[in-house]
Structure formats: structure tokens, C-alpha cells
Amino acid sequence: MILLIRHAHAVDRAEEHIGDEERWLTAKGRDVARRMGVAVRRRGVHIDEVWTSPLVRAVQTAELVAGGAGYGGAVVVLVELAPGGRLRRVAEALQASAGVVAAVGHEPDISTLAARLCGQPAFPPFKKGQVVAIDAAEVAWTLDPDKVDGRG
């Protein structure tokens, strides 16, 4: 199974006078990422690997989702998951992986990756913090960050 996750809510770069790569999660974003991890765990899913874009907001999302899901392993940074990365390589690596892999990225790339993995021409854009589970080239389920509570 593959879990595709869009990074959660991050600070606005113009307000903080920082580059896009440096944007960190807001308090809301941290809460959403934790809740998504807890919701994954509540579904009985045990994550075997976590991959993330190198951008700060994605790394923070990956760490918080992993913690909420009960994953204690390393979070692996993949440059290919950064905006404009090599999605074909990511798709091939995800399809070749064993177990459950969670991959955290950005729009529009994460929905493009979902479309590629499902053999579709397009996929609806992910909400910030949304989790989409793909199994056997089909969407198994999705977690909407606006509808998931944080009870563990």
C-alpha cells in the first residue's frame, strides 16, 4: 500500500519574508499532520517507510504523521519529491517497494503522482494534509483533514 500525503498548512512566505523552501508548518498544520497520523493508525495501517520532499514543511509533516501513526523509523528525504521532481522515478520506486510506504509531497505533483500510480490521466488536487491510500493501482481510501478528529 502507498500513502500519498500533501504537506499540511505552512506559513506564508511573503508574510515571513522567507523563501519557499524554508516555509514551516503553522500550528494548524502541525495539528492536521498529527491528526492524519493518528487516523492512519486508527485504520490499522502500520507504516514501513516514510519518504518526504526536502522542503521544511514536508519534512515536518512527514515527521508528525509518522509519530501519530506510531512509526519509529527514519524519515527518508527524496529530492525527487520536491516541487518539479522526477515523479516517474518516485512512482517506480513506490511500485517496487514492499510494505506500506508513506510519501509526503506538494501540489500539483502529489496529485500527478496519484494519477500516475492509478493509471489515470488526472487526479483531483489534494487538500493540505490529505492522505490518499493507493493499493493495487486503485484508491483504497482517503482521509480528509477537514473531517478527521484527533482522538487516538
Give the C-alpha distances (Å, rounded to integers) separating 28 from 66, 119, 124, 143, 149.
Answer: 17, 33, 23, 16, 13
Q: Residue 4, by phi and psi: left (phi above 0), alpha (psi -120 to 50) or beta?
A: beta
Residue 9, in any domain of the structure: yes
Q: Look at residue 114 and tell me if it is in a domain.
A: yes
**Residue 147 main-chain phi, psi, to 5 deg:** -125, 5
148 domain-assigned: no
Contact 25, 10 (CB under 8 A): yes
Question: Cell for 149?
Answer: 478528529
Q: Is 106 within a domain? A: yes
Look at residue 108 and tell me if it is in a domain: yes
User: Domain range spanning residue 93?
Assistant: 2-143
Angle in degrees, 0-180, between the axes of helices 87-96 and 109-118, rounded to the nearest 10 = 50
Q: Total structural domains in the chain?
A: 1
* Helices 56-69 and 27-42, axial angle in degrees (round to 10): 40
> Which whole-number Å values give the CA distances from 10 to 32, 48, 143, in the listed order?
11, 26, 19
Residue range 42-81, pLDDT digits in tens: 999 999 999 999 999 999 999 999 999 999 999 999 999 9
Global confidence as pTM = 0.94
* 152 within a domain of the structure (yes/no): no
Is there a domain that residue 61 lies in? yes
Give the domain CATH number at 55. Answer: 3.40.50.1240
Q: Rounded to whole angstroms, how far apart are CA atoms 71 and 45?
A: 10
Residue 128: inside a domain:
yes
Predicted confidence pLDDT, tens digits, the chain (152 residues)? 999 999 999 988 777 777 878 888 999 999 999 999 999 999 999 999 999 999 999 999 999 999 999 999 999 999 999 999 999 999 999 999 989 999 999 999 999 999 999 999 999 999 999 999 999 999 999 999 988 875 54
